[in-house]
């Protein structure tokens, strides 16, 4: 071989190597592009199946929705949103065990995900696993919230937890959650109304009243807020507030018989209490004698209806005591006598109610007056 032919051979080989490299690169680029296109195609198909599944869930067609979402997750195994949607559909179709297993797998990789914990809480709640449900609810509330309206969604979940706690007689924990919810509550009528009802269900009448009255102040024509404030004020023994709110409720909606009856009782408590402050001697004595006569009539009417020997004996003893005290009440004007007479009125009304049921609004008012002053005694 001549020396001059060596460079030519080398050049040919270099050219061939470059050509082969370019061809290999082209094949690689083509393969990569095809793989990317295939992934995009699979992602597109998965998205179609996901949308279809969500539509079926919304229409209540659970089993077809599950199948559609299975197809979506098969084509997009790493998509957490699709997996959560499948778990939700499985739970809706009563496939609780499978839904829980799927959610627990997702939680292993994202333990603070609020949505996953919320779904696990609902699954446990549906299965009656109270402690487990509370655990997941609280993990969700203090977990990571993403997406729009995170604060609103967290409030809704806390409200859901409170309802669950009240349903399962967990009042102390429900009250704690209610206080947290109240501290973060938007100042609008709907929020105050919802919270008032929850506080009432939890047995916290004072905070229920506070929220009803806040709603009523924000919307003076909201009859539910006015009625709620009036009824809770009545339960708290704040009869002046009760009268104010119940009158306003009846101005808006005169058809509520319950509000009318409560208003009548509350008004009589305020206007017929013989131990109320700032009364003159004559006003106090006049109220006492009128109430005494009414209580005696209620007692005698109940005696005519009662057949139980023990109740008859108790009512008869009170009647004898009243007959003995009545002349003294008519003569005396001192406060101690008024207080003794008011105490006997209460005992007559209490015994009559126990034997013969609830009396008239006037009798109910006398009972409340007696309870109110009995509670004030040391």
Q: Which of 172, 86, 173 is nearest to 133 (CA)?
A: 173
**Cβ contact 162:133 at 8 Å:** no
Same fold, 31-219 and 281-376: no
Tokens representing 90? 């499985």
CA distances from 193 to 135, 152, 190, 237 (A): 28, 16, 5, 21
Contact 364, 350 (CB under 8 A): no
The pLDDT assigned to 259 comes to 94
Query: Which option is the CATH number for 31-219: 3.40.50.970, 3.90.25.10, 1.25.40.10, 3.40.190.10?
Result: 1.25.40.10
Residues (pLDDT < 70) of the chain are 1-44, 46, 48-49, 57, 72-80, 375-378
Q: What is the pLDDT of residues 268-285, one digit of tens each?
A: 999 999 999 999 999 999
- The domain 281-376 is placed in CATH, from the list 3.90.550, 1.10.490, 2.60.40, 1.20.120, at 1.20.120
Give the start-to-end residue ranges of the domains of the chain: 31-219, 281-376
């Amino acid at each position: 071989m001549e020396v001059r032919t060596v460079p030519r051979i080398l050049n040919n080989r270099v050219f061939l190597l470059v050509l082969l490299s370019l061809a290999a690169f082209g094949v690689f680029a083509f393969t990569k592009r095809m793989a990317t296109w295939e992934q995009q195609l699979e992602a597109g198909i998965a998205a179609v199946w996901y949308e279809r599944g969500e539509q079926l869930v919304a229409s209540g067609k659970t089993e077809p929705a599950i199948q559609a979402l299975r197809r979506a997750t098969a084509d997009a195994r790493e998509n957490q949103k699709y997996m959560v949607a499948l778990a939700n559909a499985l739970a809706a179709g009563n496939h609780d065990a499978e839904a829980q297993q799927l959610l627990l797998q997702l939680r292993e990789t994202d333990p603070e995900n609020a949505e996953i914990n919320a779904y696990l809480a609902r699954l446990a709640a549906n299965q009656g696993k109270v402690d487990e449900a509370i655990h997941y609810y609280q993990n969700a509330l203090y977990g990571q919230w993403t997406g729009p309206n995170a604060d609103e969604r967290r409030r809704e979940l806390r409200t859901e937890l409170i309802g669950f706690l009240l349903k399962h007689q967990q009042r102390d924990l429900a009250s704690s959650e209610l206080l947290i919810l109240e501290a973060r509550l938007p100042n609008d009528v709907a929020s105050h109304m919802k919270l008032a009802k929850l506080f009432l269900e939890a047995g916290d009448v004072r905070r229920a009243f506070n929220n009803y009255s806040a709603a009523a102040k924000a919307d003076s024509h909201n009859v539910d807020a006015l009625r709620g404030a009036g009824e809770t004020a009545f339960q708290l023994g704040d009869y002046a507030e009760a009268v104010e709110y119940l009158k306003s409720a009846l101005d808006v909606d005169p058809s509520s018989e319950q509000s009318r009856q409560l208003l009548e009782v509350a008004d009589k408590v305020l206007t017929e209490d013989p131990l109320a402050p700032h009364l003159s001697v004559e006003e106090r004595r006049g109220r006492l004698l009128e109430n005494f006569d009414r209580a005696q009539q209620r007692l005698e009417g109940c005696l005519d209806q009662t057949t139980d020997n023990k109740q008859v004996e108790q009512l008869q003893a009170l009647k004898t005591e009243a007959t003995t005290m009545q002349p003294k009440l008519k003569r005396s004007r001192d406060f101690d006598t008024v207080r003794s007479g008011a105490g006997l009125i209460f005992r007559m009304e209490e015994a009559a109610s126990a034997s013969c049921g609830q009396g008239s609004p006037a009798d109910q008012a006398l009972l409340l007056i007696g309870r109110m002053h009995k509670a004030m005694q040391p």
